[in-house]
Copies of this chain bind each other. A is one copy, B any other.
C-alpha cells in the first residue's frame, strides 16, 4: 500500500523571516500545515463547512522538527509531506524541506487525531473511509 505524498513549491515571504535574517522557526509549522491541507484535500469535496470550520478536523497531538540549514527571505524551496501511518483515529505525517539545490533545510513530523467538534469539544472519531481511501493513494503536487 502506498500512502499519499505531496510536494509543494514555496517561496519565503518577508514577514516569515526574523531579525536574525533567516526564517523564523515557527513559520515551518504554517508550512507543514499547508502540506497537510494539500494531503487531505479531496477533489470535489469542499475543504470547509459554511461556517469556515474544516471538513476534516485534525488537531495536532504532537509535532517535532529539526533544522539543518537556514532559509532567507524570497528564497524558493520544496516541502515534501508524506503520510507515513494511518491508524483508526490518528495520522502520522512527515515533512522535509529542501532548497532548490537539494540542501536539506528541515525535517519534521506531526501526529494528528481525527475529531468531530461537538459543542466546541474535540471528540476523537475514526477517520472516515473517504479520507482514508484518499490518503492511501499516491498524489502529486496540486499547488
Residues of A that sit less than 8 Å from B by CB: 11, 13-22, 24-30, 33-34, 37, 41, 47-54, 57, 59-67, 70, 72-75, 117, 119-122, 143
Query: Which residue of the partner chain, among B15, B26, B120, contacts A52 with CB atoms under 8 Å?
Result: B120
* Beta-carbon contact of B20 and A18 below 8 Å: no
**Residue contact B61 to A22, C-beta cutoff 8 Å:** no
Contact B20 A15 (CB under 8 A): no
Chain B residues with CB below 8 A from A25, complex form: 29, 33, 59-60, 63
Contact A21 to B51, CB < 8 A, known contacts A26-B33, A29-B26: yes
| A66–chain B nearest beta-carbon distance, Å | 5
Distance of A53 Cα from B117 Cα, bound (Å): 13
